[in-house]
Amino acid sequence: MEGDLTCAQANGLDLIRYLESLGFLPQKIRGEDYWFLSPLRDEKTPSFKVARKTNLWYDHGFGNGGDLIDFGVLFHRCSIREFLQKLTESKELNFSFQPPITTQQKEIKNAELSDFFDRNKHLYYDNLMVVRRKNDLRQWLLFFLVAVKETAEKAASTL
């Protein structure tokens, strides 16, 4: 089919967002490593790791890993061509390509408020739950102010 994604384009898609589009959410995040319950088998302890930096996965219980295409072929039990066609035809293709990030862009990204929330997801959700359960907006505001302060300090240090 003309217009299908190439292998290079497919492997440029964000693997973490692709997994999330399938309904798999990270169980824990350690630095640049996102740990999931394996989408390829049943398990109770997350052993399926996606390295954010390389956009590669490894299933420690399965003893195998690879890129997005390797995952898609195993998960959907199809050929590479069928998987590329599936990606092309997907109406849920709302995850993005990962553009190359320069060192300067990385420094700027580290000084963004969203980066603070990404690095502190567990605190972000814990504080939102406090607001929801106890109607304690003060705790959320304190967390947000810490985020603003840290982000401002990082931004100032990149000038």
pLDDT in tens, 104-121: 445 545 557 777 777 777
Predicted structure pTM score: 0.58
Q: Are 27 and 37 in contact (CB under 8 A)?
A: yes
Q: What are phi and psi of 132, to 5 degrees?
A: -65, -45
* Cα Rg, the chain, nearest whole Å: 19
| β-pair partners for 88 | none
**For residues 118 and 104, is the Cβ–Cβ distance under 8 A?**
no
pLDDT in tens, 139-155: 878 888 888 888 788 77
**CATH, range 7-89:** 3.90.580.10
pLDDT digits (tens, 9 = 90+) for 65-86: 999 999 999 999 999 999 999 8
Mean pLDDT value across residues 59-66: 94
Task: Delimit the domains of the chain by residue range.
Answer: 7-89, 103-157
Distance of CA 101 to the CA centre of its chain: 16
User: In 3D, which of 124, 128, 104 has the Cα closest to residue 115?
Assistant: 124
CA angle centred on 52, ends 49 and 56, rounded to 5°: 60
110 versus 40: the higher-pLDDT residue is: 40
Query: Which residue has 């109770």 as its token pair?
Result: 44
